Structure 1
């Protein structure tokens, strides 16, 4: 996976305001990508939280992978699907990267896998959901990370160069979110 780096620490306001060159996708050393991977996630829709070691010594830990797939299930359609392991690389890389700068909070998973029926219900309700959404293939997640605004979080996810990044800005205390997927490399604002 390509690497990312930041050149500044969080400001006292709780949000990072990035200078134009904050992300350098080649700056992290190889050791960062070889260490064991523990991901800390929360699903606000179901109230679940888990901190799982899912990758060690170059191997996916099957039981933890299955637990993560369950956490990223369609909570509305009550179905679980296999999630692309590359998506977990992006989620873990994002969380591990910001932890180096004192942001050690769980990654909020707002949406993971979606059944076609759940995806259609969102579309009918006016929620931005593509007809051929990668959520339905287990290749996308909508995420949020405390203390990072959508621009900073999306810029970090984009720097990994692993797929698509959608920026969804919303006013209010919970703010927006970022769509991350393992499809074609592209960005958009919704």
Structure 2
């Protein structure tokens, strides 16, 4: 008896199969940033959103190249959940987030509190809190506010600061860390 079912291969399916193989075969780089100095063959990001119920666990960079389709998925995932507006997320910030995650040696995904913010959302948040910048890098898709249950704000901030690739804000009272790919600086307690 022969099967007449067709097997369909898509570019995304093939990339997924390759990525799964690469994850298994990739060496572990414990406590090594390496983002800008040979970070290995793959880069992966894992996040979930309590606001939308969505999650993402994906390899977005393989063999020195970003995967455009996956960056679009990350942009959609990190959209302004209040308005559904999107802005292309800067892959440099995804790199910082992924490198900090790797440094902390955790399997738990980040909880994304805020990625891209529309001007309306930023203005609303600014009216309620003095800690929201008028020209926030969230407006440009260059920032994320993140939380991990298994790591303290201090541990997360130290990992991000080790990357020395952008801004790191500690919001201990609210239990999250801001990471961005703007100028290197840090604040908060």
C-alpha distance in structure 1 between counterparts of 2:65 and 2:115, whole Å? 23
Deviation at 1:126, TM superposition (A): 2.2
Residue pair 2:157, 2:170 contacting (<8 A) in 1 also: yes
| Higher relative contact order structure (alpha carbons within 8 Å, sequence separation ≥ 6) | 1
Relative to structure 1, is the Cα distance of residues 5 and 155 closer, same or farther in structure 2, using a 3 angstrom cutoff?
Answer: farther
Match of 2:177 in 1: 178
Match of 1:12 in 2: none
Relative to structure 1, is the Cα distance of residues 128 and 5 closer, same or farther in structure 2, using a 3 angstrom cutoff?
Answer: farther
Answering whether residue 117 of structure 2 is matched by residue 114 of structure 1, we say: yes
Residue pair 2:45, 2:57 contacting (<8 A) in 1 also: yes
Match of 2:172 in 1: 169
Answering whether residue 73 of structure 2 is matched by residue 67 of structure 1, we say: yes
Deviation at 1:25, TM superposition (A): 6.3
Aligned length: 161
C-alpha distance in structure 2 between counterparts of 1:185 and 1:53, whole Å? 26
Task: Name structure 2 gaps, 5 residues minimum.
Answer: 1-28
Answering whether residue 58 of structure 2 is matched by residue 52 of structure 1, we say: yes
Q: Which of residues 126, 132, 137 in structure 2 aligns to 1:134? A: 137
Q: Secondary structure at the match of 1:34?
A: coil
Answering whether residue 81 of structure 2 is matched by residue 87 of structure 1, we say: no
C-alpha distance in structure 2 between counterparts of 1:42 and 1:29, whole Å? 26
Structure 1 consecutive aligned stretches of length 4 or more whose deviation exceeds 4 Å: 28-31
1:113-157: CA deviation from partner (whole Å, max 9, x where unpaired): 001110010011226210010000000000112211001100110
Structure with a larger share of its residues in helix = 2
The TM-score with structure 2 as length reference comes to 0.78
Deviation at 1:30, TM superposition (A): 5.1
- Bigger Rg over Cα: 2
Residue pair 1:141, 1:179 contacting (<8 A) in 2 also: yes
1:80-116: CA deviation from partner (whole Å, max 9, x where unpaired): 11011100101111222223xxx21011111000011
Relative to structure 1, is the Cα distance of residues 179 and 104 closer, same or farther in structure 2, using a 3 angstrom cutoff?
Answer: same
